A = this chain, B = another copy of it.
Amino acid sequence: MPTVESVYAAATVKRLLVGPPRHRGELGETLLSKRLALPIFASDPLSSVAYATEAVLKVLTLGGLAFLYLTPWIALGVVVLLSVVVISYRQVVRAYPQGGGSYEVVTDNLGRTAGMVVAASLMVDYVMTVAVSVAAGVDNLVSAVPSLYGARVVLSVGCVAVLAAVNLRGVRESGKAFAAPTYVFVASILAMIAVGAIRTVGGHPPVAESATYGVRAEHLGLTGFALVFLALQGFSSGCTALTGVEAISNGVPAFKPPKARNAARTLTAMGLIAITMFAGITWLAMVARVHVAADTCDLVGFRGDCAVDPQLTVIAQLAASVFGGTSSPAFYLIQASTALVLVLAANTAFNGFPMLASILAQHELLPRQLRNRGDRLSFSNGILALATVAGLLLIGYRADVDNLLHLYILGVFTSFTLSQIGMVRHWNRELRQVTVAGVRTQVQVARVINAVGAALTGLVLVIVLVTKFTGGAYLVVIAVPVLVLAMRAVSRHYASVRAELVPTSHARLLPSRVNSVVLVTAINEPALRAIGYARATRPARLTALMVQEDPEATDALLEAWAQADLPIPLTVLDCPYRDITRPIVEYVDALRTENPRELVSVFMPEYVVAHWWQELLHNQSALRLKLRLRLLRGVMVTSVPYQLAGAPALAQTWVEPAAEPVTRPGPPVSESRPEVVVLGAHN
C-alpha cells in the first residue's frame, strides 16, 4: 500500500506544477474567444506549412533535382485539397455544434464501428501531431543554434513535458500563453514572403545557399509509372499541410457562444492563412532554388561534416536568403517563432485529444478515468496519456520528422474520408425531412460539397496508403484495429457490468446473522482493539483466529489467552507450509458453506505507520489475504487500523487548508421513513 507520505508528496508536487484546485463554477471562464481560439486550434495546420514544403522537396529530390519541376503542381493539388477540406468542415461545425467532430459525425451517420475507427484514427493523429510538431520545432531551433544538434531527443521530450504541465493547469491559461507566438509566426512568415516577392519583382530574387548543392544519389530518367509514383509520394508528403484542420470541429464546445458560428469563422480564417503561407513558402523555395535531402550526407557541396552538422530547414534557408544570412535579427525572429509555434502546435493535440477521450469515455469506449475533469478543470488523465505516448514515440524515432511523417498522414485522411461520407448521409437524411424549396437547395449544395470532399479525401487516403505503407504507415494500419478492439472490449465490459448491476428484489433480503472472525497474532493493543470493535458490532458468533507458524509460539499464546480472560474463544489453525493465507481463507469459506444464510465478517488489525520505510516492516500478508477473501460471497473484510506513534494526523495529509466548512452528519436512522438529506450542495 502506498503511504500517506508519498501521496502527500505527490500532491504537493502536483500543486506546485498546476496550481490550486478550481471550483466547478469556474468552468464557464475557460471558454475561448475567437481571438484566443485561432492560435490554440489553428497553430497545428498553420505551423505545418513549416515542414510541408520541405517534405515535398525531399521526396522529389529522391528522384533527382530535375524533378523539382513537379513542385508547383503538387502544391496546387495540396491547396485545392485544403480548400475543399476547410469548406467541408465548415458544414460539420454547423451541423454538429456539440463537438466530437469527425467522431460524432461518423458515429451518428455510419454507425458505432465506423465511429470507433475514426476515434482510433484521431487518437493516433493527435499523438503524431505532438510528436511531429515538437520534432520539427526542435529542428528549426537547431537550424539557428547548431550546437544543440546532439540534444534533439532530450529537447523534444522536454517540450512535451512542459506542454503537458501547462495544459494540466487548465485550457484558458494555455490559450493566453500561446496566442502571441502564433501571431508573430504568421506575421513574420508573411513578411518574409512579401520581402521575397518585392526582391524578385525588383530583379534581385533571393538565392538559397544550397542552390549550388548537388545531390549525390540522382536517379534521372524516371518515366511512366515511376514518375507518377514519385509525384504521388510528393503529394502525400505535402498533404501534411492539411493535418489539424479537424481540431476545430472537435473543439466547438470550447468556443464562446455562438459556438458554431465562431468556430466556422475561425476555420475559414485559418484556411485562408494556411493556404497563403503554404503557397508563398513553396513559391519562394522555387525562386530561391532551395535544395534539401533526407540525409545531409547526400548533399554534394554541403559545407561541414554531414555526420554532425545539421542541415538547415527550408524555412531557415529562405529566411537566410531573404534577410541576408544566418546572423541577421530577422533570421533569428523567423527561426524562433517557427520553432515556438511548432512546439505550441502540439498544443492543438493537447486540447483535442483529452476532449475526444472524454467523449469516448462518456460513450464507455475508454476507461472512466478519462471522462472527468481533474481538479484544475482540465482533463488531466487524457493529457498525461497523450504526453506519455508522444514522448515514447519521440524517443523511439529519435525525434526524426521524416520518419514520423510516414505514420502521420494515414490516420488524418481516414478520419477526413469517413467524416465526409458521414456528412453525405447526414444531408440525405435531412433531405427526406425538409420540404421547403429554399432549404432543400441549401442542403443539396451542402451534400455536393461533402460528396466532393469525401471523393477527394478518399482518393488521397488510397494514395497515402500505397505510397507510405512500407515507410511506416503499416504501423497505423495495425494500431487502429488494435485500438478499435480495445474500445470494443471496454464497451462490452461496461455494458455487461451495467446489466449485472440492475437491482434485483433478491438484493434487498437481509442476511440473517453475522458471524465474525478476528485475526490475531498476539495479545496486543491492535488485537484487543479489533476484538473490541468486532464485539461492538454484536455478531451472532465471534471467534479470534490465529495461524500457527511455530508450535512453540502457539503454546505461549494459548497460555496468555487463558490468563487474559478474554470473553471470546480462540481458534488456532495449523500452517505447516508457512503460507498463512490459505488456512484462513479456507476456514472462512467453510464457515460460509456451513451457514449459507449467515454473513462472515473478517476483522483485520492493520498498522498505520509514520514513515514509508516502516510500511516494509508491517502488514505483509494483509494484501494477499484480502485479494482471496474478496472472492467469497457473503464475506466482508473489515480493517481496524491501529495508528502507531508518529502516524500522521488527518489534517497533515491535505496540501490545501479546508476550503469550505466541514459538512454536518445526517439525521438518525429511521427504518420506516426514508429520508433524503443533501449537504453542502450548490455552495
Contacts and interface: CB of A to CB of B under 8 A. Distances in A.
Interface string A529-551: 10011011111111101001101
B532 A490 contact: no
A536 B513 contact: yes
A541 B630 contact: no
Interface in A481-512: 489-490, 493-494, 496-497, 500-504, 507-512
A650 B625 CA distance: 12
A665 interface: yes
Contacts of A665: 543, 571, 587, 590-591, 594
B511 A617 contact: no
Given A674-B562, A677-B569, A632 B650 contact: yes
B524 A501 contact: yes
Contact of A680 (B583, B649, B680): B583
Contacts of A677: 543, 569-572
A662 B586 CA distance: 6
A608 B635 CA distance: 13
Contact of A635 (B548, B576, B599, B641): B641
Number of copies: 2
Interface in A624-648: 624, 626-633, 635-641, 643-645, 647-648
A507 B493 contact: no
A430 interface: no
Interface string A545-577: 100110100100010011011111111111011
A209 interface: no
Q: Which of A22, A507, A665 has the most CB of B within 10 A?
A: A665
A639 B631 contact: no
B630 A567 contact: no
A665 B587 CA distance: 7
Q: Which of A524, A668, A674 has the most CB of B within 10 A?
A: A674
Contacts of A500: 525, 644-645
A504 B561 CA distance: 15
Given A507-B528, A511-B533, A599-B533, A583 B639 contact: no
Contacts of A675: 569-570
A566 B674 contact: yes
B630 A582 contact: no
A670 interface: yes
B367 A616 contact: yes
A69 to B, nearest CB: 52
B536 A538 contact: no
A5 to B, nearest CB: 10
B503 A524 contact: yes
A170 interface: no
Interface string A369-391: 10011110000000000000000
Contacts of A681: 548, 551, 554, 572, 574
Nearest to A610: B493
B524 A502 contact: yes
Given A665-B591, A678-B558, A24 B578 contact: yes
Interface stretch (A265-273, A337-345, A395-403, A653-661): A653-661
Given A569-B675, A586-B663, A669-B569, A628 B614 contact: no
A432 interface: no
Given A650-B585, A674-B567, A510 B535 contact: yes
Contact of A626 (B601, B633, B639): B639
A633 B638 contact: no
A683 interface: yes
Interface in A7-64: 7, 21-25
A682 B550 CA distance: 10
B645 A573 contact: no
Contacts of A512: 536
A22 B658 CA distance: 55
Contacts of A509: 532
Contacts of A490: 617
A490 B614 CA distance: 8
Question: How big is chain A's contact interface, by range?
Answer: 35 or more
Contacts of A503: 523-525, 528, 564
Nearest to A530: B636
B653 A561 contact: no
A648 B631 contact: yes
A672 interface: yes
A530 to B, nearest CB: 9
A303 interface: no
A317 B671 CA distance: 92
Contacts of A497: 607, 644
Nearest to A486: B613
A567 B627 contact: no
A572 B679 contact: yes
A577 B22 contact: yes
A657 to B, nearest CB: 11
B532 A617 contact: no
A203 interface: no
18 contacts: A1-B627, A367-B616, A497-B607, A507-B529, A511-B533, A545-B666, A554-B678, A569-B675, A570-B675, A572-B676, A573-B663, A574-B683, A586-B658, A590-B664, A603-B636, A608-B631, A631-B647, A637-B639
Those 5 A-B pairs whose CB atoms lie nearest each other, nearest first:
A569-B675, A501-B524, A507-B528, A571-B666, A630-B641
Interface of A: 1-4, 7, 21-25, 367-369, 372-375, 489-490, 493-494, 496-497, 500-504, 507-514, 522-526, 528-529, 532-533, 535-543, 545, 548-549, 551, 554, 558, 561-562, 564-574, 576-579, 582-583, 585-587, 589-591, 594, 599, 601, 603, 606-608, 613-614, 616-617, 620, 623-624, 626-633, 635-641, 643-645, 647-650, 653-654, 658-659, 662-672, 674-683
